Structures are given as structure tokens and as C-alpha cells.
Amino acid sequence: MLEVEGLTKHFPAPGGLLRVLDGVSLRLEPGGRLAVMGPSGSGKSTLLSILGTLDEPTAGSVRLDGVDPFALPPHARPAFRNREIGFVFQEHHLLGGCTALDNVVLPALATGSVAAAVVERARALLDRVGLGSRQQSLPSELSGGERQRVAVARAVLLEPRLVLADEPTGQLDAATANVVTELLAELARETGGMLVVATHSDAAARRIGTVVRLESGRLEPGRVGP
């Protein structure tokens, strides 16, 4: 379960403090899916960065399955993040010198060793996202949509409790964006993880599930167009 209470984030600005998040609270049950919408600069990326422990809140709390990651010693936070949280970004962030298979396996490398079963899961995930025949391809040999599908497979390799996706289809055409969004939702559901997606896209939001909007730093009930 993801529990967020009173999340606030300020940044220093010439005119004083810039309040990007202002008392954001949300609760997501296991298997829950949430689409966060809002204009550029509304704080969507900041919210996901804090949920993913890449940034710290000014105030408020985040608890993932009862654990407050910001209460952990700083040296323990990366291991928690790698184990419990998967990321998909607008930019795929694949390593250019590594094959698709190697890129999917990367989260396991941070644990110190890669078991044969993990490699087999990586192969199965690439097959699941339609890239079973491209396992040895480099990112430069893949299309934009294919690179994002590799990123999706990488994000769910360790079956994290929470998957965060920040505008994952922002640079894709509509048909490819639909495929990537469906894969995100399906793979998160199959592993029992929770999914939070920041998006500008009505179509993507519809496919995710519950929709909220960030307005003036606060989460409000959202809707998508017809």
C-alpha cells in the first residue's frame, strides 16, 4: 500500500519560496493504478521524484507497505528504491553500449549478483513486450517505441511494489503510445504492483484507471475528455 500524507515541496525562488506541492495526500491499494494529469510545471515530475525517493519532501510523509523511506539511513535508500520501486521515464535511459537484455537485467546487477532465474525472467519479459527476437539489439538499433518497451520490462524485472512512469509516452506516436501504456498497466497488474503515471495524454489516462489532477500544488479529482 502507498500512503502519502500532506506532501509539500518548496524551492527557493527570487520572489521567495516556490511551493510546487502543497499538502498532497493520496492512498493507493495493492494493484491500484493512478494517472496524474496537469499542465507542464504543475509538479507532476516532482511528485513522482519524491514517491520514488529521488528527491526529499519539505514536509509530509510517504509510506510504502508501512515503510517510510525517508526515515531510512541515506546509504540504505538506494537499495530500498532498487528493490521496491521501478521507473519508466519519458527518456528511456537505456545504456547505449548494452543490449536490450543487458538493459533489462540492470536492476539486478545493483543487488550484487544476477541469478540465472533473473536472466530468464528478463528474457520472458522481453518476449512479453514483443521483443523476444531483439534481445541482443543495442538501443541504437531499436525504434523509440521499442526502447520504451525495453524500459518497461526493466522497470518490472524485480517485481517492485510501486512502478512510477513520468510521461512515458510523450515522445511516441499515438499507436505506439497506446501499446506502451497497455503494457505498463498489464505488467503492473500481473505482478500485483501499484502504478502511478504522470501524463498529459487523455488516452493514456483512460487506460491507467483512476485520474487525478495537480492544480496549484494540490491533487484534485480529475477527468478525461470523451
Dihedral sign for Cα 101, 168, 96, 105, please: negative
pTM of this prediction? Answer: 0.91
End-to-end alpha carbon distance in the chain: 31
Cell 547505449 sits on residue: 96
Cell 491500484 sits on residue: 32
And the C-alpha cell for 162?
Answer: 510501486
pLDDT of residue 223: 61
Which stretches of the chain drop beneath a pLDDT of 70?
222-226
Is residue 33 helix, strand or coil? Answer: strand
**CA separation (Å) from 93 to 100, 115, 152?**
12, 24, 11
pLDDT of residue 226: 45
Tens of pLDDT, residue by residue over 126-140, are: 998 999 999 999 999
* DSSP letter string, 191-205: HT-EEEEE-S-HHHH
Residue type, 117: A
Tens of pLDDT, residue by residue over 75-107, are: 999 999 999 999 998 888 899 999 999 999 999
**CA separation (Å) from 198 to 38, 48, 106, 129, 208?**
8, 8, 24, 21, 10
Q: For residues 186 and 217, what is the distance between their CA atoms, to the nearest angstrom? A: 30
CATH classification for the domain delimited by 30-54+73-208, as one of 1.20.58.100, 3.40.50.11810, 3.40.50.300, 3.40.50.1240: 3.40.50.300
Q: Which one-letter DSSP state was computed for residue 14? A: T
And the C-alpha cell for 58?
Answer: 519539505
